[in-house]
A and B are shown apart, each in its own frame.
Chain A
Amino acid sequence: MTPKRRRLTILLLAALGLGTATALTLTAFQDNLVFFRSPADIAAEPPPPGRNFRLGGLVEQGSVARGTTAEGRPNITFNVTDGAHTVRVQYSGVVPDLFREGQGVVTLGQIGPDGVFHAREVLARHDENYMPPEVADALRRSGHWNPASGDPPPAAGWNRLQPAQASERSSGG
């Protein structure tokens, strides 16, 4: 019994030490572990010009303008917002299928002298909600959700909604 208890004690102490060390390390590297910076981060701490970084947030409603560059590539400009701050982004290239107003995006690039973020890469970042098209339609038509303004309402309100019920509810107003 004694050697067993000794081994268990050593194990628990080692686990405690390792856990503490890991927690301290992760706290120390907190800033480096984020994948992207938000417009608020950039407003609070503007990065030096010419420095590449990732900017993330939602595509602001009504801010998307599409065109073509002089070389004939698709060109798109839009605002990335976190509610409090926005950053204008310019990107020439094809954006992911999920790109739309209200969608999360993560863009890689740098802020130019014009104050616009020139992106070399645009990735879509979808939310953690999954629903059939009929349910999404019903929420939209009943005025409970506008996808262009951001994530859907709390899931408890729709994750049991049946499309038949849903269309009834929307036709009823």
Chain B
Amino acid sequence: MPKQASRWQFLANPGRFLRVTRWLLPALSVAALLVLAVGAVWGLAYSPPDWQQGETVRIMYVHVPMAWLAMGGYSGLVLLSVLGLVWKHPLADVAARELSPIGALATGLCLLTGSLWGRPMWGTWWVWDARLTSVLVLFFLWVGHAALTRAFDDPDRGARMGAILALVGAVNVPIVKFSVDWWNTLHQPASVARLAAPGLHQDILYPLLVNGLGFSLAFAALALAATRAGLLERRLRALQLAAARRADVA
């Protein structure tokens, strides 16, 4: 049991996090750029058009990774919120607070690219079906979390409120995923994450997976960079407070 606790400590120690991410962050960033470059060339130049959607199908190479990150990132936020609320890990609080603007960005891009795709294919920018509406709710949860964690003078209080919001919002994650199966929607059902064989031809599936990996690496790099900045900010604040207290005493 104590051994396990020390393993948790290893992950949660802010000083060690800063040391590890000092080299991990540039490595991740370079890897993200390389994979995204391959993905862009493959997706734009070397993958075939779709038999009925034509070249428009290439929007998928951005839209689908953004949707994966919106959902996967939110699952990460839920995990960080549990760690912050139950185990009171300060690193989890900082990471959750720094993750939400990035998650909001991914979800916003998912909605935007989906709208740009929907207009030429479906014939509409937007409909209030269960999938689109639940993703819009996901976007508001991300934005709400970003605002709520920053709305308190005491960062610990903000982190606690944000964690509660993130956990309440977790019920939306299965709703987003299964909305296309539980109710009929304008949005089509899942093509990749399903029990049957992927509904994408391999010449379209592989560039999609490469782009998914590239955007995930970029997402991770952004989240790590923001968390590093958040930790350093917190450290600076603590130093400033201590200096002010010393000046007060003197």
Partners in one complex: yes
**Which B51-107 residues have C-beta < 8 A from chain A?**
51-53, 57, 60, 82, 85-87
Which residues of the partner chain B approach A121 to less than 8 Å between Cβ atoms?
123-124
B155 interface residue (CB < 8 Å to A): no
- Residues of chain A with a CB closer than 8 A to B143's CB: none
Stretch of A42-50, A61-69, A72-80, A131-139 contacting B (4+ beta carbons < 8 Å): A131-139
Which residues of A92-108 have CB atoms within 8 Å of chain B's CB atoms? 95-98, 106
Closest Cβ–Cβ distance, residue B181 to chain A (whole Å): 11
Query: Least Cβ distance of A10 to chain B in Å?
Result: 9
Say yes or no: A154 contacts B49, CB within 8 Å.
no
B18-26, B197-205, B213-221, B227-235 - the one binding chain A: B197-205
B122 interface residue (CB < 8 Å to A): yes
Alpha-carbon distance between A132 and B53 when the two chains are bound, in angstroms = 10
Which residue of B has the minimal Cβ distance to A56? B184
| Residue count of chain B within 8 Å CB distance of chain A | 45
Chain A contacts with B in 114-173, Cβ cutoff 8 A: 121-137, 147, 154-156, 158-161
CB-CB under 8 A from A13, the residues of chain B are none
Size of the chain A interface, CB-CB below 8 angstroms: 47
- The binding surface of chain B is classed by DSSP as loop
B52 touches A98 (CB 8 A): yes
In the bound complex, CA of A26 to CA of B198 (Å) = 29
Contact of B183 among A35, A132, A136 (CB under 8 A): A35
The answer on a CB contact under 8 Å between A132 and B50 is yes
Cβ of A20 to closest chain B Cβ, rounded Å:
10
A159 CB to closest chain B CB, in angstroms?
5
Q: Is the CB of A123 within 8 A of B171?
A: no
**Nearest CB to that of B48 among chain A residues?**
A132
Given A19-B171, A56-B184, A133-B49: A160 and B202 interface contact (C-beta under 8 Å): yes
The stretch among B36-44, B108-116, B186-194, B238-246 that forms the contact with chain A is: B186-194
Given contacts A38-B184, A159-B200, 10 further A-B contacts (CB under 8 A): A26-B175, A98-B52, A98-B123, A123-B186, A127-B199, A128-B199, A131-B50, A132-B204, A137-B51, A160-B202
